[in-house]
């Protein structure tokens, strides 16, 4: 038999880091996180300041190009994004292929991946302008595709994007307008409170350095794959409940807990190592003190529920759950705090976004981050193919045994 360690003899140092807890996979100038201090910066700007002062399009521009836009630059950028928001008519047939009860994330993965079949002939990935067009096209089309997944699931006709609406207004209009493709209703009321809330959530979710979905986009792109297929790979990674799927899982969990008196029972389940249950929306790989995005979202929940004139008992329950967990030794010792997704679902629910669309909402926002990382990576021709090694644990070399002798 072969000494397995001899397989790795060529390496002076061989790191085994499952989950990449202490391994940087790339250099990046986009986002900085200090997990102990609860600091998140996009291109150097604190998330709190961007959340308070910016439009999501300004933040998307900042992530992509590295600087906040001037008024003129922002106008041009918004025009371009808007122009690219329309879908090729033949994409409709892709939606028709999905059963009405398909999860919207399943449709999103499929339809975004299919863009690679529509945009390939002009693709010259060596040309920075072509790459920039890909990125803005992806940001522009994502809300249109996202809204179409919802309209398909409820059997309603798709609504076209309108050029005179902002990014968030357009999404809400495409989701909820009673108009059909043949009848655009420009007077459809879009609640400014909902637009403001959506804008904020999109900013908070726009980027988060090398999270699982962004790393997936980078890994796929390192092979030179079609960029739309790379974004579809990122969407697939986002879907899981340990990542972007947590916002949907939090709402399901709160609904299951139901009342404040049941909280101790669920906290006990979360602490029980024989029970797979985890407190969804709690814990983070990097934040070990607090998630600054959760702090902003909790505050916004009060404003949104008041602004939309809604009293959601699940918000009261979430607050009580947080208070209870943060006094518990298990959560204190393991440094488990509410993350960005603990409260985001409460806001989406107040905006009448269906629960199974929550992760799709996350994907719309994160597209700005994904394409920015893709652009950054593609601009550096020295980027190698992403190809981790493994620690082989199987049998050593052995001889083939004919089937009759096995
Ligand atoms: N509930 C109960 N226990 C938890 C939780 C939780 N939510 N999160 C972590 N723990 C425990 C683990 O069981 C582990 O215990 P151990 O030391 O006794 O083995 C310890 O805390 C460390 O947890 P890990 O899973 O090793 O931490 P990791 O950094 O790998 O995972 C993650 C982070 C995936 C976010 C985890 O905290 C989790 O599953 N949270 C719930 C899902 C969630 O909210 N995900 C969204 C994250 S934010 C985002 O992606 C947008």
ipTM, 2 decimals? 0.96
284 is known as an active-site residue: yes
Taken as a whole, the chain contains a residue count of: 406
Q: Is 166 helix (H, G, I), strand (E, B) or coil?
A: coil
Residues sharing a CB contact under 8 Å with residue 57, sequence separation 6 or more, in sequence order: 74, 77, 78, 81, 166, 167
Q: Which atom in ligand 1 lies closest to the alpha carbon of residue 19?
A: 30
Nearest CA to ligand 1 atom 4: 278
Nearest CA to ligand 1 atom 26: 285
Cβ–ligand 1 contact at 270 (below 6 Å): yes
Residue 337 vs residues 86, 288, 291: alpha-carbon distances, Å? 40, 8, 7
- 263 exposure class (CB count in 10 Å sphere: 0-12, 13-18, 19+): middle
Cβ–ligand 1 contact at 268 (below 6 Å): no
Ligand 1 centroid, distance to 254 Cα (angstroms): 18
Cβ–ligand 1 contact at 325 (below 6 Å): no
Residue 5 vs residues 8, 40, 104, 394: alpha-carbon distances, Å? 6, 41, 46, 12
Residue to substitute in 238, 268, 283 for testing ligand 1 pocket (most ligand atoms within 8 angstroms of CB): 283
Is there a contact between 151 and 159 (Cβ–Cβ < 8 Å)? yes
Between CA 49 and CA 129, with CA 69 as vertex, the angle to 5 degrees is: 130
The tally of CA atoms less than 13 A away on the side-chain side of residue 21 is: 6
373 is known as an active-site residue: no
The pLDDT, as a whole number, for residue 8 is 66
Count of C-beta atoms within a 10 Å radius of residue 309: 8
Per the prediction, the chain carries an average pLDDT of 93
Ligand 1 centroid, distance to 335 Cα (angstroms): 10
User: 398 is written with which tokens?
Assistant: 């052995």
The pLDDT, as a whole number, for residue 5 is 61
Nearest CA to ligand 1 atom 45: 242
User: 190 is written with which tokens?
Assistant: 């879009």
Q: How far is it, in rounded angstroms, from Cα 203 to Cα 151? A: 25
Ligand 1 centroid, distance to 283 Cα (angstroms): 5
pTM of the predicted structure, to 2 decimals: 0.94
Residues 59-92 have pLDDT tens digits of 999 999 999 999 999 999 999 999 999 999 998 8
The pLDDT, as a whole number, for residue 189 is 77
The pLDDT, as a whole number, for residue 100 is 85
Blockwise average pLDDT, block size 10, the chain, 406 residues? 62 85 96 96 98 97 98 98 94 90 96 92 83 97 97 92 92 85 63 93 98 98 95 98 94 96 96 95 93 95 86 93 96 94 93 95 98 97 93 92 97
Residue corresponding to tokens 């609860």? 38
Ligand 1 centroid, distance to 242 Cα (angstroms): 8
Cβ–ligand 1 contact at 294 (below 6 Å): no
The catalytic residue among 208, 243, 284, 373 is 284
The catalytic residue among 207, 291, 341, 356 is 341
Pairing of strands 45-46, 31-34: unpaired
Cβ–ligand 1 contact at 335 (below 6 Å): no
The pLDDT, as a whole number, for residue 307 is 83
Residue 388 vs residues 14, 15, 391: alpha-carbon distances, Å? 11, 10, 10
The pLDDT, as a whole number, for residue 92 is 83
Between CA 246 and CA 50, with CA 232 as vertex, the angle to 5 degrees is: 60
Cβ–ligand 1 contact at 330 (below 6 Å): no
Cβ–ligand 1 contact at 284 (below 6 Å): yes
Cβ–ligand 1 contact at 281 (below 6 Å): yes
Q: How far is it, in rounded angstroms, from Cα 358 to Cα 362? A: 7
């Amino acid at each position: 038999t072969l000494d397995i360690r001899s397989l790795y003899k060529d390496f002076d140092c061989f790191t085994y880091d499952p989950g990449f807890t202490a391994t940087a996979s790339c250099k990046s100038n986009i986002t900085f996180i200090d997990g102990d201090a609860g600091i998140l910066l996009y291109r150097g700007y604190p998330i709190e300041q961007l959340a308070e002062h910016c439009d999501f399009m300004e933040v998307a521009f900042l992530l992509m190009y590295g600087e906040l836009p001037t008024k003129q630059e922002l106008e041009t950028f918004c025009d371009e994004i808007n122009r690219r928001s329309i879908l090729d008519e033949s994409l409709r047939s892709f939606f028709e292929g999905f059963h009405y009860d398909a999860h919207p994330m399943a449709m999103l993965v499929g339809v975004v991946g299919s863009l690679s079949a529509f945009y390939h002939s002009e693709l010259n990935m060596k040309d920075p302008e072509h790459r920039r067009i890909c990125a803005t096209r992806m940001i522009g089309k994502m809300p249109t595709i996202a809204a179409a997944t919802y309209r398909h699931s409820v059997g309603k006709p798709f609504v076209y994007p309108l050029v005179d609406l902002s990014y968030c207004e357009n999404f809400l209009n495409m989701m909820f307008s009673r108009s059909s493709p043949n009848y655009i209703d420009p007077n459809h009321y879009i609640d400014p409170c909902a637009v403001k809330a959506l804008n904020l959530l999109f900013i908070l979710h726009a980027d988060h350095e090398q999270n699982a979905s962004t790393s997936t986009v980078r890994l796929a792109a390192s092979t030179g794959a079609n960029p739309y297929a790379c974004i579809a790979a990122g969407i697939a990674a986002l879907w899981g409940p340990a990542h972007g799927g947590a916002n949907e899982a939090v709402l399901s969990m709160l609904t299951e807990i139901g009342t404040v008196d049941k909280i101790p029972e669920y906290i006990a389940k979360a602490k029980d190592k024989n029970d797979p249950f985890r407190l969804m929306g709690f814990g983070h790989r990097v934040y070990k003190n607090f998630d600054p995005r959760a702090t902003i979202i909790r505050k916004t929940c009060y404003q949104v529920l008041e602004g939309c004139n809604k009293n959601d008992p699940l918000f009261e329950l979430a607050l009580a759950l947080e208070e209870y967990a943060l006094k518990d030794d298990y959560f204190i010792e393991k440094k488990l705090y509410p993350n960005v997704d603990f409260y985001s679902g409460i806001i989406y629910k107040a905006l009448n976004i269906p629960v199974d669309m929550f992760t799709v909402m996350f994907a719309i926002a994160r597209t700005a981050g994904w394409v920015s990382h893709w652009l950054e990576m593609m601009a550096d021709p020295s980027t190698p193919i992403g190809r981790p090694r493994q620690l082989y644990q199987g049998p050593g070399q052995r001889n083939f045994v004919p089937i009759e002798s096995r």
